């Protein structure tokens, strides 16, 4: 099994009036072919920026991106166009990501026309086939997005992403805007498509239950940095970073149970503008001491395949020192 | 314990020239003092319209209360004049709105906005009202000294706390919370839910919580009503609904949520979509999506039957069993 995507020390800073905003700071990860990496975190943690930077919707500040063995960190316009055939994106909001003046068939045909894949009768057939794949009835061929509900609109978004048979899709909160019963339909569809077309997903979400369901690996982000990354089952049984613990404890679970005392974290996310040399979670962390405010922790492999960035991970979790 | 609110057969329609949208149909709810009831349903199920109906805030036209009674402490709110209603809103019954970003007035300081409700309902001087406003801010965990700041200077979670402070400033007996945490991140959501829960206990406030999140309901509610296409399809205690759901829609909802505690391979979504409330079927509104549908379901509107004490289900399947 080879890695389809390899990201090394990726940074993305934005210039703002108040200074440099560190949206993504020194993030590294890999996604094996045909697998799903879930990216979770709260709003403003840089997860969408990370997804967009990987597929060159934002230009990175520094770092390296390897896709399918090739270095795609720096590409020109022509290379990028060729690259986009293989990497696509599904957007969060199916209400604003579709042009209201284009019909369903035009929307789905658009990528095929741009890449001059087919035309005429063949185009029509391909569009029909795509509609079929994502579960859109053929009678909707000439409908417009405003006539459709959120679930169907998201299916159009998925059909557009699939049109060029990509290898890799960045899914940016694809189900957050949908009702639960529709959300489940779309999640099942995405899983089926992954199996059929051997797709590799980068699945960005804030919903912990969804991410566990769909991901093979999970990366937790906080203020632009990776705090914990490991197998999706592992994170639900052995989570080591204090932020991951608090995040998962905060998820309301639809079960009747004893009211347990939750380890709530105080305060709110701090500003990502000009962060100093410190652990970015330190201000909210119950275990923070002096070193946390003086030095940015580096990511360490605590056990095989399980990376954590925390100075005190071993004391907190009563773990033995490696070696 | 005594009944604080009783909604009897409330029916609200939105009447336009071209169609009649039957948003709320024969909804009946009882709420005891100090109790919390969760009104759960998907987008367009009629949850918010029910809440607006209780407060007499249904936009008219096009909204129209067709029939029913809303009995609060022995008097029917629907029969009160506008002036009498204004005395109840904010003092006896208050509401937390869904979106804290739009619920606050951007050109007034938050102190002024909390003060407004106090001065409307209590004969106090400006200075006393401001003191009360600052107390309220401290209670929801914001420094009282920030009362001279404007909404844009606060984060989303803090704005929602201010909305809560406004709602609770006059110690209402009944709190209607319309998706109070939907716009917030999970760690902030947990903080806000804890806050609501503590304040509720402190003042023995009853609460009607409107949400689509079954997890949130499990955290804070005593009773649950599941709403589908403007009707309550199942009604009972938390235990009844979560551990012994009867209605196929309730079961479908639970099947649609990815399980947080263990990983399932596939979800079991409800097929299809919610019917258009301007064109509801003659029989059971859920019939088209129901896995147990019979011919009778399409013709006859099921009545609510009590399957166990205090647990009501509106489904023909169970109607037969009980008789």
List the single range of A47-51, A141-145, A254-258 with lowest mean pLDDT: A254-258
Confidence (pLDDT) at B194: 86
User: A262 with B191: CB under 8 angstroms?
Assistant: no
Q: What is the mean pLDDT of chain A?
A: 89
* B91 pLDDT higher than 70: yes
Q: Taking residues A190-205, what's their average pLDDT?
A: 93
Alpha-carbon torsion, ordered B88, B90, B91, B92, to 10 deg: 60
B40 pLDDT band, cuts 50/70/90, is very high
Closest CB from B242, B264, B269 relative to A185: B269
Task: For residue A180, name the pLDDT band (cuts at 50, 70, 90).
Answer: confident
The pLDDT, as a whole number, for residue B222 is 92
In this prediction, residue B181 carries a pLDDT of: 84
User: Average pLDDT, stretch A213-223?
Assistant: 93
Which chain A residues are Cβ-neighbours of B268 within 8 angstroms? Answer: 184
Task: Tell me the chain A residues in contact with residue B42 when contact means C-beta distances shorter than 8 Å.
Answer: 179-181
B-chain residue closest to A182, CA distance: B269
Over range B9-18, report the average pLDDT: 90
Residue A320 has pLDDT above 80, yes or no: no
pLDDT at A322 over 60: no
pLDDT of residue B43: 82
Rounded Cα–Cα distance for residues A56 and A212 (Å): 27
**B148-169, pLDDT tens digit by residue?**
999 988 888 888 889 989 998 8
For residue B268, give the nearest of B283, B260, B258 by alpha carbon: B258
A123's CB contacts (< 8 A; 6+ apart) are A109, A112, A113, A117
Taking CB atoms and an 8 Å cut-off, how many pairs form between chains A and B?
A: 117
Based on the number of CB atoms within 10 Å of its own CB, is A257 exposed (0-12), middle (13-18) or buried (19 or more)?
exposed
| Interface probe, candidates A178, A180, A206, A213, chain B, greatest B C-beta count within 10 A | A180
pLDDT of residue B322 exceeding 60, the answer is no
Q: Do A246 and B187 touch (CB under 8 A)?
A: yes
- Is any Cβ of chain B less than 8 angstroms from the Cβ of A1? no
Residue B273: band (very low, low, confident or very high) from pLDDT cuts 50, 70, 90: confident
Say if A194 is an interface residue toward chain B (CB within 8 Å): no
The answer to whether the CB atoms of A253 and B266 lie below 8 A apart is no
Residue A260: predicted pLDDT? 59
Partner-chain contact A209 B260, CB within 8 Å: yes
Query: Residues A91-115: pLDDT tens digits?
Result: 888 888 899 999 999 999 999 999 9
Chain B residues touching residue A250 (CB < 8 angstroms): 186-187, 189-190
Contact A253 B261 (CB under 8 A): yes
| Model confidence band, residue A323 (pLDDT cutoffs 50, 70, 90) | very low
Of A247, A253, A256, the CB nearest to B187: A247
Domain ranges for chain A: 3-86+166-266, 101-157
Which range among A241-250, A259-268, B257-266 shows the weakest confidence by mean pLDDT? A259-268
Please give the share of chain A, as a percent, with pLDDT higher than 70: 97
Task: Give Cα B279 distance to the centre of its chain.
Answer: 24
**Range ranked top by mean pLDDT from A174-183, A271-280, B83-92:** B83-92
Chain B partners within 8 Å of A182 (Cβ): 269, 273
Cβ-proximal residues to B190 (8 Å cutoff; 6+ apart), any chain: A249, A250, A252, A262, A264
Which tens digits make up the pLDDT trace of B206-235?
999 999 889 899 988 999 999 999 999 999
Q: For B46-57, what is the mean pLDDT? A: 90
Q: Lowest mean pLDDT: which of A246-260, A304-318, B83-97?
A: A246-260
Average pLDDT value for residue range B29-49: 90
A42 vs B185, B263, B268: nearest CB: B185
Residue B158 touches partner A, C-beta closer than 8 Å: yes
**What is the distance between the terminal CA atoms of chain B, rounded to a whole angstrom?**
32
Q: Which of A150, A209, A255 faces B218 most closely, judged by CB atoms?
A: A255
The answer, for B174 touching chain A at a CB cutoff of 8 Å, is: no
ipTM for the complex shown = 0.81
In the CATH scheme, what architecture does the domain A3-86+166-266 have? 3-Layer(aba) Sandwich (3.40)
Per-residue pLDDT band at A158 (split at 50, 70, 90): very high
Cβ-contact B124, B118 below 8 angstroms: yes
Question: Exposed, middle or buried by CB within 10 Å (0-12, 13-18, 19+), for A251?
Answer: middle
Q: Which residues of B touch A268 (CB under 8 A)?
A: 155, 157-158, 188
Q: Which residues of B touch A150 (CB under 8 A)?
A: 43
Task: Identify the band that residue B144 occupies on the pLDDT scale cut at 50, 70 and 90.
Answer: confident
pLDDT at B279 > cutoff 60: yes
Instruction: Please determine, for residue B264, whether its predicted confidence score (pLDDT) is greater than 80.
Output: no
How many CA within 13 A on the CB side of residue A54?
A: 34
Confidence of residue A13 (pLDDT cuts 50, 70, 90): very high
The share of chain B scoring above pLDDT 70, in percent, equals 98
């Amino acid at each position: 099994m080879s890695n389809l995507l390899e990201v090394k020390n990726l940074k993305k800073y934005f210039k703002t009036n108040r200074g440099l905003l560190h949206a993504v700071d020194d993030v590294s990860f890999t996604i094996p072919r045909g697998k799903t990496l879930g990216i979770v975190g709260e709003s403003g943690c840089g997860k969408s920026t990370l997804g967009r930077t990987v597929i060159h919707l934002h230009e990175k500040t520094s770092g390296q991106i390897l896709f399918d063995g090739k270095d795609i960190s720096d590409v020109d316009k022509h290379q990028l166009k060729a690259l986009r055939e293989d990497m696509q994106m599904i957007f969060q909001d199916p209400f604003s990501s579709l042009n209201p003046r284009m019909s369903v068939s035009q929307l789905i045909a658009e990528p095929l026309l741009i890449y001059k894949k087919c035309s005429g009768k063949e185009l029509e057939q391909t569009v029909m086939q795509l509609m079929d794949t994502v579960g859109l009835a053929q009678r909707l061929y000439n409908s417009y997005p405003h006539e459709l509900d959120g679930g169907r609109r998201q299916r159009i978004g998925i059909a557009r992403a699939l049109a060029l048979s990509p290898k890799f899709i960045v899914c940016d909160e694809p189900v957050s805007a949908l009702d639960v019963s529709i959300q489940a339909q779309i999640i099942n569809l995405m899983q089926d498509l992954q199996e059929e077309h051997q797709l590799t997903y980068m699945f960005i979400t804030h919903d912990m239950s969804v991410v566990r369901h769909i991901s093979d690996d999970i990366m937790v982000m906080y203020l632009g940095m990776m705090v914990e990354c490991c197998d999706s089952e592992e994170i639900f049984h052995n989570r080591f970073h204090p932020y991951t613990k608090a995040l998962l404890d905060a998820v309301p679970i639809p079960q009747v149970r004893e009211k347990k005392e939750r380890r709530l974290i105080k305060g709110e996310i701090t500003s990502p503008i000009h962060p100093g040399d410190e652990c970015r979670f330190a201000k909210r962390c119950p275990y923070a001491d002096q070193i946390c405010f003086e030095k940015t922790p580096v990511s360490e492999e605590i056990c095989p395949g399980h990376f954590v960035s925390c100075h005190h991970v071993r004391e907190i979790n009563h773990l033995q020192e490696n070696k | 314990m005594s009944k604080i609110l009783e909604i009897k057969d409330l029916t609200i329609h939105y009447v336009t020239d071209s169609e009649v949208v039957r948003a709320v149909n024969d909804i009946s709810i009882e709420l005891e003092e100090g109790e919390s009831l969760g009104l759960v349903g998907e987008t367009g199920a009629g949850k918010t319209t029910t809440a607006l109906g209780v407060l007499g805030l249904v936009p008219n036209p096009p909204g129209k209360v067709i029939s029913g009674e809303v009995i609060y402490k022995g008097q029917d709110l629907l029969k009160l004049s506008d002036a009498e209603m204004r005395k109840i809103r904010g003092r006896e019954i208050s509401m937390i709105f869904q979106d804290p970003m739009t619920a606050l007035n951007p050109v007034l300081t938050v102190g002024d906005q909390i003060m407004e409700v106090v001065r409307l309902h209590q004969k106090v001087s400006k200075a006393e009202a401001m003191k009360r406003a600052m107390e309220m801010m401290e209670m929801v965990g914001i420094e009282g000294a920030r009362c001279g700041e404007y909404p844009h200077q606060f984060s989303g979670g803090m704005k929602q706390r201010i909305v809560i402070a406004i709602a609770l400033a006059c110690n209402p007996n009944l709190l209607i919370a319309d998706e109070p945490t939907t716009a917030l991140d999970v760690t902030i959501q947990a903080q806000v839910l804890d806050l609501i829960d503590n304040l509720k206990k402190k003042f023995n406030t009853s609460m009607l919580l409107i949400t689509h999140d079954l997890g949130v309901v499990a955290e804070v509610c005593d009773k649950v009503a599941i709403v589908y296409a403007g009707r309550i399809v199942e009604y009972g205690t938390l235990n009844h609904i979560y551990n012994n759901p009867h209605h196929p829609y309730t079961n479908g909802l639970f099947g649609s949520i990815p399980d947080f505690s263990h990983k399932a391979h596939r979800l079991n979504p409800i097929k299809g979509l919610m019917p258009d409330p301007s064109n509801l079927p003659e029989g059971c509104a859920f019939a088209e999506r129901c896995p147990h549908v019979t011919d009778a379901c399409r013709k006859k509107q099921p009545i609510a039957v009590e399957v166990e004490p205090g647990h009501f289900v509106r489904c023909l399947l169970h109607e037969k069993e009980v008789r």
